[in-house]
Amino acid sequence: MSGKTSPVPVTTTVEPVSAAIFLTKVANWDGNSQDVHEALAAAFDAKDYPECIKNLQAREIEPLLYVNNLDKVTYT
């Protein structure tokens, strides 16, 4: 390439993040921080969300904590 830099950025492969990570954040949410909205959005977008939500206990997420905290989330 005769010493010129390419205008195209180099891409890297990113491993998908499991919805379980974000669902755990919701289950452990303190009720105050606003990052729960981002955690929910990321969980819903994760490719494995349908499988994770089917069996939270298999992913060491307490279902009752998750549901109770989900009930507390409001969008303004």
The model's pTM: 0.75
Distance of alpha carbon 61 from alpha carbon 45, whole angstroms: 18
pLDDT digits (tens, 9 = 90+) for 63-74: 999 999 999 988
pLDDT digits (tens, 9 = 90+) for 15-38: 789 999 999 999 999 988 889 999
Residue whose tokens read 């939270």: 56
Q: Is 29:36 a contact under the CB 8 Å cutoff? A: yes
